[in-house]
Structure 1
């Protein structure tokens, strides 16, 4: 990058986004909405007003039942063929590069309006892995994200691994010389950095990541607890002859996946659901699936699952997933031990990822003295439980979970 202009640090997240810059040696976060330094990474294309809503207004439009198309978790589409497919949205054909660019343009405009500065360059956080180690989509994903920034009006962009940014922001937390681990559990990825901190300076010893995050937790809960109410696991009568066959799982898997929900409201999918309902051994369950597709309630279900997950995690015993949007009074109970069982495979992956990061840094688990958690999904109790099993003697602390990456990017921007 050149030396003119100002650098804006942007933590473009799967679920939430924050941005900041260095002001008089201190990170200053941008108010991306009234009084809020983080906003949901969501979009709503309002079919009536022809407006594109971003962040909380997009969420509210969905909850209010406005006629339009809602999108979330588009960061997980980076590196895939979907990024460059043109789709008819409102009055134009656009790609997801165009859609994400509009979001980043909103961030850039808010920052410039608030500060009076011109931010022509960006320092963007990026997950350690978008899809997986040695996955051919890795380079494409970063190239896609770069294209989004350029389309948003930035003249240049550099990338910094998100847990590395969080480690930079955590430097003040160190007490003397210490080796620590950043555990950054976001909406779409879980990233780890081993760092050494000494006299306020932070050096990164190893980065590693796995492609699971909060949206995967939601997906697992939805498939296990909600989709059976819509017919998953039930039987269909064969069209010709006697016998039964299982209901196909694909449509339930997609309906439980945030980034795939917008693509399910097609005539083909609705007809398929109607045919399954006609042949179903338990037609009342498949009728719920028909209703969800007909009334485009997939994101309402996903938000209900997320809300139930947060409730049982914070209450520590049990809660429920309220599904009254489909059928009056419909709900499914969710207990803490059931949640732990559903998320057990993810907990295992998190421990493997953290263990591998320590190995890459040349350290045994008992040499990690401090574990710092960032990212909204790090507040899931199973995350800390998993890390305490692996690092029982370390100090465990929660940083500014929603803004630590943006703080670190703002600090690092001074070096650009």
Structure 2
């Protein structure tokens, strides 16, 4: 029936997830997945597993976490784990839950809510995927994402690179023939597409190059954590082991987990928690012991999500102002850390340089000169980071700059592709 979808188009993101739909005749608007969100079509990619049972997503996950007195597990940025072979899963209610099960739990809730919205059951899905997942092996990560979709009870699963989907959405509104660069900046990856656009249907041959790097908003948050906030939680602690003479510092592996919104929960592991308790006892100063106490509260009370929310708020402020403050208070934790735009730019220089190198490499791979590109269109909050925005303008001086409206560009492009998939299936 023309008024019911046959395929779902899913933009599963590190920070936010959206779902639209299609059938062979039409494309459906993004579905309201989260009634508690200011924009119900945007579901935050958050999972809550209360100790009492059940699983909750999006705004409801945050509410349930608070209502259950912060008991249970609150997880964010789960997309990061798909490409990591070393991440076998996390313990929830005494059971090891795999990355596929975590992502599948979110995708299943999205499917059920969309089914209820349309009054039908849809088991075919087109999922967006980054050009390069965060991790060692893209094929391995895509395989995990496919398994997660199967956990969500999808039976036919297709993939499309997210920047190509964004390009489809942008190309649909093109008024003249020209070269375009699309930048898709998410929470976990920054992706680029160089393509020919015009007042016609976008064809596969119009896409000249696609590139991506597993560095984006979360990595920029981590740079602030590493440079200025981590010390409040023992990242710079000095200690001396019993019968040892050397003054030691917190191991870098621990600091890396501390500075990652996706991997902070690893510090809950029994062996790591035992080591951190030893470091607290062996610390050389009362100040360091106090900072280790803050780390203990942060880990045991699973306050990492809220801490990184505070860091992200300050980062967003720095896009419009030259100074801000990271403020996070909780019983046993007090952080008030002034931050400046110049300090943030220095802290994130390595990450931003990697994003810009990827942009340059994608343009080169397209076989065009930077001056040939007529329009640049970016989506995602990281595109507003002043240094990134300024460097894109400097590199592509001849191009006019446009901004996608909201977070819907990728899912709208996925829905257009899903319609083509549905047409092909109908023709078979």
Please identify, of 86-95 and 170-179, the stretch whose mean Cα deviation from structure 2 is larger.
86-95
Is 1:307 paired with 2:310? Answer: no
- 1:290 matches 2:271: no
* 3-state DSSP of counterpart to 1:80: coil
The residue aligned with 1:120 is: 123
Q: Residue 83 of structure 2 aligns to a residue in which SS?
A: coil
Q: Where does the alignment leave 5 or more consecutive residues of structure 1 unmatched?
A: none
Within 2, Cα distance between the matches of 1:352 and 1:173? 29
Within 5 A, what are the aligned runs for 1:142-221? 142-202=142-202, 203-221=206-224
1:117 Cα offset (Å): 3.4
Q: Partner residue of 2:41?
A: 37
Structure 1 stretches (4+) deviating beyond 6 angstroms?
none
Q: 2: CA distance between counterparts of 1:10 and 1:71?
A: 20
Deviation of the 1:326 alpha carbon: 5.8
CA distance in 1, matches of 2:352, 2:274: 38
Aligned partner of residue 337 in structure 2, secondary structure: strand
* C-alpha distance in structure 2 between counterparts of 1:241 and 1:102, whole Å: 48
CA distance in 2, matches of 1:173, 1:182: 13
Q: Distance in 2 between matches of 1:284 and 1:74?
A: 30
- SS of alignment partner, residue 119 of structure 1: coil
Distance 1:290 1:95, change over 3 A: closer
Following the alignment from structure 1 to structure 2, what is the Cα–Cα distance between the partners of residues 359 and 29? Answer: 35
Whole-Å separation in 1 of the counterparts to 2:144 and 2:51: 27
1:269 matched to 2:283: no
Could you give the per-residue CA deviations for residues 120-144 of structure 1, whole angstroms, max 9, x where no partner exists?
2111100011147xx5x11111111
Instruction: Report which stretch shifted further, 148-157 or 90-99.
Output: 90-99
In the alignment, the residues of structure 2 paired with residue 286 and residue 302 of structure 1 have an alpha-carbon distance, to the nearest angstrom, of: 18
Q: Could you tell me whether the CA contact under 8 Å between 2:11 and 2:17 is conserved in 1?
A: yes
Q: Deviations over 1:355-396 (max 9, x none)?
A: 111111111111111111113432333331221121122111
Identify unmatched segments of 5+ residues in structure 2. Answer: 422-428
Alpha-carbon distance, 1:82 to partner: 5.2
User: Compared with structure 1, are the counterparts of its residues 62 and 308 closer, same or farther at alpha carbon in structure 2 (3 Å cutoff)?
Assistant: farther
Check the 8 A contact 1:373/1:401 in 2, yes or no. Answer: no
How far does residue 399 in structure 1 lie from its aligned partner after superposition?
A: 0.4
CA deviation string 1:316-367 (max 9, x = no partner): 1211111212656530001111112212222211211111111111111111
Instruction: Report the counterpart of residue 75 of structure 1 in structure 2.
Output: 79
Q: 1:47 aligns with which of 38, 47, 51?
A: 51
The answer as to whether partners of 1:340 and 1:382 remain within 8 angstroms in 2 is yes
CA 1:415–1:251: 2 relative to 1, 3 Å: same
2:9 is equivalent to residue 9 of structure 1: yes
How far, CA to CA, are the matches of 2:260 and 2:182 in structure 1? 27
Say which SS state the counterpart of residue 228 (structure 1) adopts. Answer: helix
| Larger deviation, residues 215-224 vs 392-401 | 392-401
Q: Alignment partner of 2:70: what SS?
A: coil
Residues 169, 329 of structure 1: alpha-carbon distance in 2 compared, 3 angstrom cutoff: same
State the Cα RMSD in Å: 2.2
CA contact (8 A) 1:63 1:300 kept: no
Contact 2:297–2:332 (Cα < 8 Å) also in 1? no
| Per-residue Cα deviation, 1:150-194 (whole angstroms, up to 9, x for no partner) | 221111111111010001001244231110111011111111000
* Residue in structure 1 matching 2:380, options 370, 375, 378: 375
C-alpha separation between the residues in 2 aligned to 1:287 and 1:92? 28
